[in-house]
Structure 1
């Protein structure tokens, strides 16, 4: 069977998303939101501005890019097997079960794991493959407009007895921060095993992110089905239009969010409308970033090696995502080096860049000798239950002579 060639821009976008994730995780000290020691020489006066700026530029966007690419990859896998006369749905279901196990084990170490969330959300998403593009876009529109949040907002405006009371685990969130900053590794594992799952899943639901996740999956599927990213030169004007259009919408939504606080509304009304609007802002911002990145790739891929490095980083996204989180927990949590109390947002950002460059260089060198990253190979081997799956690339005769 002939191997399918990879689409560089997809891997590069995945690398861009992973860069955003490591940046946001580092400045958030891997979900430790306690203030650092103001007397530390690595806590600076500009830290608050740096934190807010990074949160504005990155928060909620990297996750969105990954969600779109998840839907894109889903279609590519299903379609490739369909062209071979194979039904991939049950294999994909098993693939999601394997990913859930990997993600759940990872979540015991790091509370904010998204792998197990994507895996569970990916199971019902299998049903979307047989639906028409028109049906999918209607469903995506309903999901992305945040109907559940808008319904709650409607209740807040029309029902004087309405009280918005989201459930975030009855104090589990601050309990987690206390354990992360004072507890042992085993106490962290014990907390993450259950209580942290409650925090993550309730937060994901109440903020509208779970609903948005399904909508972004569908957007990625439709983009793949239409083939927009397989012939970028022909679609460059369409990409530019999407970028400019979403940029305008992003700015308008941001202006609206900034004005909500001045409205003569109750706190519940302001909270719910801000949450819904923030999901719109993140969506339009994400599409603007992706469009801009794709345009840079179209016009600069032959001149700038950056895209090759980002693609290598993205090809090993599972390995890099898990390893950066494990390393980050060791660096910031108290049972490790406890840097949460020493590094402010500025130096945490510097650390994120160092980790990104290091992981990128490792990825580039690894992929010169291997087809897949370590975790990518394991996931694939478990999917097909084939541990003889070849990974090491065969050296050409020219390479042997040079050696």
Structure 2
């Protein structure tokens, strides 16, 4: 019998609804990330830097902003928090020190994240998840009500930061404010330089730019946004797991109304915010103080609504081919996340095909559909022969210091 420390989660132990949700969230994240891979960085918040939007690009930007931005990341954070509890509890039940293994697991996730961030893509989420995961694990034993209160408080903190940043820009002299906001409203020559870098620059040139962006994301954005929001949402995930929501143990009626109210409320806020931002012509002071706040606040409702919708579909046992494929993607979420970055690097960067800024926003959505199709099919095929994805295997090997069995031909007694 293999050492108990190296045994992966057995099929009978898996909560299949979590894998389905994880696959759904992982695919949805690509809607956001591909915009950052394929277009200048500033255009994510201020599309006007690329010139006037066509009708199809306007619709694409609206769709991604209202239905995608922050929503799928929120679901992923909820599931990550739930996963912390499951991981520790399962090891504790086997007589092992779950906390110790979780700390080691997060340390290796941090290493993976740093490699991903600096060698592949600046938009990495693994570093933030590793750091926040170490914080959330310390809070896992809090009473449910305390978790919910802390979640609300932590979730609202970034809204105050956004308002303060907008106020700071507003109080600056005009020239100083223009310089401070250059990353959000760059000059045409700066945009052209970024396009040229990713289309024709060397890997080292792009690495230097990536390192500069990482300093901003891993320091500024982390302490302004990710630390608070992600910690709070992970705590919510622990509550939703313990209440049986994520395990699809509630009634169909419950998930129906969770979907209707969540998506309805969240979409209302995101739509209102989008309309106000467009009316302000993507003016950055307004964006920080008011415009972005709508989408930020509403994204939690939408994420919960999406969870309700997917779990309702799962409970009703409809679209089984689709939920099975989502489950396969979710079981290989770590591998698929890294593969999305590798695929997009090859498509858009100079050391691949160099197609950066050559596709419209609408055309980027076609690439999303192509990558989704590939990952849904390839994940399903891989799991017919192997127990887990290759990066899941490596992460588990490093965590337990023993090689888990990968092939499905080897069964545990």
TM over 0.5: yes
Equivalent residue, structure 2, for 1:91: 101
Equivalent residue, structure 1, for 2:89: 79
For the residue of structure 1 that corresponds to 2:353, the secondary structure is: coil
Contact 2:325–2:376 (Cα < 8 Å) also in 1: yes
Equivalent residue, structure 2, for 1:134: 145
Correspondences of 1:167-178 after superposition (within 5 Å): none
Equivalent residue, structure 2, for 1:240: 256
Equivalent residue, structure 1, for 2:227: 210
2:58 corresponds to which of 6, 25, 48: 48
Equivalent residue, structure 2, for 1:185: 203
**TM-fit CA distance, 1:319:** 0.8
Equivalent residue, structure 2, for 1:384: 400
Equivalent residue, structure 2, for 1:322: 338
RMSD after superposition = 3.5
Is 1:292 the counterpart of 2:302? The answer is no
**TM-fit CA distance, 1:153:** 3.7
Contact 1:140–1:214 (Cα < 8 Å) also in 2: yes
Distance 1:28 1:6, change over 3 A: same
Q: Which moved more, 1:98-107 or 1:340-349?
A: 340-349
**TM-fit CA distance, 1:339:** 1.4
Q: Which moved more, 1:72-81 or 1:341-350?
A: 341-350
Query: Aligned partners of 1:214, 1:185: CA distance in 2, in Å?
Result: 34
Distance 1:162 1:139, change over 3 A: farther
Equivalent residue, structure 1, for 2:355: 339
1:57 corresponds to which of 64, 67, 74: 67
1:363 corresponds to which of 369, 379, 389: 379
Q: Which runs of 5+ in 1 are unaligned?
A: 36-42, 397-403
- Please, what TM-score do these two structures have when normalized by structure 2? 0.81
Q: Which moved more, 1:308-317 or 1:170-179?
A: 170-179
For the residue of structure 2 that corresponds to 1:196, the secondary structure is: helix
Q: Which runs of 5+ in 2 are unaligned?
A: 44-52
**TM-fit CA distance, 1:100:** 0.9
Paired residues in the alignment total 382
Is 1:69 the counterpart of 2:79? The answer is yes
1:115 corresponds to which of 119, 126, 130: 126
Distance 1:291 1:252, change over 3 A: same
Query: Aligned partners of 2:259, 2:236: CA distance in 1, in Å?
Result: 15
Equivalent residue, structure 1, for 2:245: 228
Q: Which moved more, 1:162-171 or 1:26-35?
A: 162-171
1:12 corresponds to which of 20, 24, 42: 20
Equivalent residue, structure 1, for 2:299: 282
Equivalent residue, structure 1, for 2:288: 271
**TM-fit CA distance, 1:390:** 0.9
Equivalent residue, structure 2, for 1:310: 326
Query: Aligned partners of 1:392, 1:13: CA distance in 2, in Å?
Result: 25
Is 1:24 the counterpart of 2:19? The answer is no
Distance 1:337 1:44, change over 3 A: farther
Distance 1:243 1:168, change over 3 A: farther
2:212 corresponds to which of 195, 210, 231: 195
- Please, what TM-score do these two structures have when normalized by structure 1? 0.83
